[in-house]
Amino acid sequence: MQGKHGRAYSKAMADDPLALFDAWFAEARAAEPNDPEAMALATADAGGRPSVRIVLLKGHGPQGFDFYTNLDSRKGAELAANRQASLLFHWKSLRRQVRIEGAVELLPDAEADAYFASRARDSQIGAWASDQSRPLDRRETFEQRFAAMQQRFAGQDVPRPPRWGGFRLKPAAIEFWTDRPHRLHERRLFTRTAGGWDEGLLYP
């Protein structure tokens, strides 16, 4: 049986998980007052030490879920050492969560270039001025670097920094969580298989 995204899935399933995410995300964009694209990104270094932060979803589809960062940031370094990661969307207005686990891969340069070109100019310049996740002696140092980059790129397009790019998380498991009274929540887990997806329920 084929879903909307061309993925095979079990006949026992009521939904294709990628199509279900599309529907939930559309509802979140209509209902969530601030940043429905915000998602927690959990990574771990080669030794297994975890870290988590909020990033923004910048694209999604059958191939996976995309986000961008400085490749020398902590998350960039951890993803280079350990390609496994997890995402979590929490849409409080809808009382829903979506948790996604899988391996990540670097996005092609052409996709990173296209997205970087779409960013606000000050955001582009900020990417050049920031050594993301590195120690900063004082705020004024960063502001001075930003001003210097404004002068450097005055009157011209701002190119993508060489160590700035994107990642795509390819989902191996997607869990849809729905709030229910008395903590009797509903949890639907979709797990990727060789033939498509299997669906099961989890105790809340």
Active-site residues, by number, are 183
- Could you give the C-alpha distances from 117 to 52, 85, 97, 149, 199, in angstroms and in order? 27, 27, 31, 16, 39
Tokens of 25: 């995300």
Exposed e or buried b per residue across 147-158, where buried means at least 16 C-beta atoms within 10 angstroms of its C-beta: eebeeeeeeeeb
Query: Which burial class, exposed, middle or buried, applies to 190 when counting CB atoms under 10 A from its CB (0-12, 13-18, 19+)?
Result: buried
What residues contact residue 35 under an 8 Å CB cut-off, 6+ apart?
Answer: 56
Enumerate residues 6+ apart whose C-beta is below 8 A from 120: none
Choose among 199, 146, 158, 159: nearest CA to 19. 199
How buried is 37 (Cβ within 10 angstroms: 0-12 exposed, 13-18 middle, 19+ buried)? middle
What is d(CA 85, CA 171) in angstroms, rounded to the nearest whole number? 10
